[in-house]
Amino acid sequence: MFNKRIKIKELLLQLPGQHDVVVMGWVRTFRNTQFIALNDGSTNTNLQVVAELGRFDDDLLKRITTSAALKVTGELVASQGKGQTVELKASQIEILGDSDPEKYPLQPKKHSLEFLREIAHLRFRTNTFASIFRVRHALAFAIHRFFHDKGFLYMHTPIITASDAEGAGEMFRVTTLPFDQPPRTEDGAIDFSQDFFGKSTNLTVSGQLEGELAATAFGDIYTFGPTFRAENSNTTRHLAEFWMIEPEMAFHDLEDNMNLAESFMKSIIRFVMDNNMEDLVFLDQRLLEEEKQLPADKRSEFGLLDKLKMVVNNDFERITYTEAINILLESPAYKKKKFQYEVKWGIDMQSEHERYLVEKHFKKPVIVTNYPKDIKAFYMRQNDDGKTVAAMDILAPGIGEIVGGSQREERFDLLTQRMRDMHISEEELWWYLDTRRFGTVPHAGFGLGFERMVLFVTGMTNIRDVIAFPRAPKTADF
């Protein structure tokens, strides 16, 4: 039944004269009981199907409604109308699935993103979300291709873990114990020794620590999987479930890490620009229309395509954290008190500070290095000044931090002292410390939140719009 089907994206590139062409898709519109706009998700461009008057039964035509699924056989002919070069002159139309127009919630009109989040199971059928998820696919493919071509090994790290890589403590607990009457120890605490794993376990916040184990055997590895944060955050930039890419490289220092991360970002964005330009042009135009509704001072300085070109066509500026703070302190924005958050050495820079450095000062992506150790994780390599660590963040236009990484602390004594200072159990992470006991080497890695990258490349402003079914506080639908 389906073996002769051709996708609309491919069909639109063919010349007229093709006979017995079979297409399948969903009806977008049906005009004058003659012209069907058919879409199969391969492109935002609809195929016009012409149902000649008098050729098809009225009962069949009445069933051709918005979102009805059709199988159409016909001849590909030159189009007489505007907007397309070819159209399909139908000889056979079969209804594969009816759609009640009175109940179908997506009508041929503009819907708000808020409304579409309420019907996320259907929003893929809109042009905006079709483009977003084709771009998301292309980015995922480009990520695997980039690392494969460089000889990296793809590691699947655990989703259920007994460790907290970040020391954040905001984790989802995994348990089979009864909630109403869990077993307890003599001192009244929950007795996790009776749980499924015999200890307290959680959903992972990062695959990094396990990734380091693999890097000290294979050299270069990467992870790409789901991670979870139980933060009660309802911002447009946070999710409770998201995907992370985390490469770890043995025999790498901070500079090697920066070089790889910059090359990585440019490569995957270039791939999308080479393979999904139709979607990017659509999203660029969509963003332009949205920006017109904003006050002039709230509009972005760059269009979507301009922003992507800025990343792939420029060497990233590299500055230290101390230099970044000094630039901010000397900036007109600081002197005119335009920053909402304070600026001083030791702060964890906010998005407004990061975007100022990228968009106003350097006008290209920036890599900031050597952050204060007090605002960074225990595993980052301590610098000789005793105050900073060999960390690096990549700041991108329109979004701020998009990549975070560091050279890892390979020196056993300094790592264990740092863990004690931060009250992180050496006993629980004995397996991690073994990498420093048995053949330790300089090594480094970074993390990229996949949804943050999709947000950046699509120009969307809410992270819940770049993942199929967002998980956030009070949100676990579909």
- How are beta strands 69-78 and 153-155 bridged, if at all? unpaired
Q: What is the CATH number of the domain that holds 44?
A: 2.40.50.140
Same domain, 363 and 439: yes
DSSP codes joined into one string, 313-345: HSPPEEEEHHHHHHHHHTSHHHHTT--SS---T
User: Does the pLDDT of residue 243 top 70, yes or no?
Assistant: yes
Q: What pLDDT digit, counting tens, does each position of 223-238 carry?
A: 999 999 998 888 888 8
In a domain, 471, yes or no: no
Residue 139, amino acid? L
HSE at residue 404, side-chain half, CA atoms within 13 A, is 17
Q: What is the pLDDT of residue 394?
A: 98
In a domain, 248, yes or no: yes
Q: What pLDDT digit, counting tens, does each position of 397-435 carry?
A: 988 999 999 999 999 999 999 999 999 989 989 999 999
User: Does the pLDDT of residue 168 top 80, yes or no?
Assistant: no
- How are beta strands 201-203 and 173-174 bridged, if at all? antiparallel
In a domain, 459, yes or no: yes
Give the closest residue to 454 by CA, choosing from 245, 285, 262, 278.
Answer: 245
Residue 305, amino acid? L
Q: What is the pLDDT of residue 82?
A: 77
Say if residues 402 and 452 touch (Cβ distance below 8 Å): yes
How many domains, in total, are found in the chain? 2
Span 454-478, average pLDDT = 94
In a domain, 442, yes or no: yes
* In 43-85, beta strands by DSSP E: 47-50, 69-78
Same domain, 328 and 446: yes
The last residue of one of the domains, among 63, 80, 108, is 108
Same domain, 241 and 210: yes
Q: What is the CATH number of the domain that holds 399?
A: 3.30.930.10
Q: What is the pLDDT of residue 1?
A: 59
- Give me the domain span that covers residue 51: 8-108
Q: How confident is the model at residue 172 (pLDDT cuts 50, 70, 90)?
A: very high
Same domain, 378 and 266: yes
In a domain, 17, yes or no: yes
Average pLDDT, the chain: 94
Look up residue 373 and give its DSSP letter: G
396 vs 238: CA distance, rounded Å: 17
The last residue of one of the domains, among 82, 108, 134, is 108
In a domain, 188, yes or no: no
Same domain, 243 and 328: yes
Q: What is the pLDDT of residue 169?
A: 59
User: Does the pLDDT of residue 257 top 60, yes or no?
Assistant: yes
430 vs 312: CA distance, rounded Å: 42
3-state secondary structure 213-276: HHHHHHCEEEEEEEEECCCCCCCCCCCCEEEEEEEEEECCCHHHHHHHHHHHHHHHHHHHHHHC
Same domain, 84 and 137: no
Same domain, 103 and 159: no
> Residue holding tokens 């594969």?
96
Q: How confident is the model at residue 165 (pLDDT cuts 50, 70, 90)?
A: low
Helix axes 277-292 and 254-275, enclosed angle (nearest 10): 90
Same domain, 101 and 217: no
User: Does the pLDDT of residue 239 top 90, yes or no?
Assistant: yes
Same domain, 91 and 211: no
Say if residues 8 and 21 touch (Cβ distance below 8 Å): no
Q: What pLDDT digit, counting tens, does each position of 349-401 carry?
A: 999 999 999 999 999 999 999 999 999 999 999 999 999 999 999 999 988 99
User: Does the pLDDT of residue 293 top 60, yes or no?
Assistant: yes
- Evaluated on CA atoms 39, 42, 48, 49, the torsion sign reads negative
Same domain, 71 and 216: no
HSE at residue 74, side-chain half, CA atoms within 13 A, is 26
Q: What is the pLDDT of residue 362?
A: 96
Provide Rg for the chain, Cα atoms: 27
Same domain, 94 and 160: no
426 vs 431: CA distance, rounded Å: 9
In a domain, 184, yes or no: no
Span 3-14, average pLDDT = 92
Q: What is the pLDDT of residue 2?
A: 66
In a domain, 303, yes or no: yes
What Å distances lie between residue 272 and 15, 131, 143, 275, CA to CA?
27, 11, 11, 5
170 vs 164: CA distance, rounded Å: 9
User: Does the pLDDT of residue 164 top 80, yes or no?
Assistant: no
Q: Whole-angstrom distance between the N-terminal and C-terminal Cα of the chain?
A: 31
HSE at residue 113, side-chain half, CA atoms within 13 A, is 14
- Return the structure tokens found at 330: 């000397």
Rounded-to-5 percentages of helix, strand, coil across the chain: 35, 25, 40
- How are beta strands 47-50 and 86-97 bridged, if at all? parallel
Same domain, 59 and 132: no
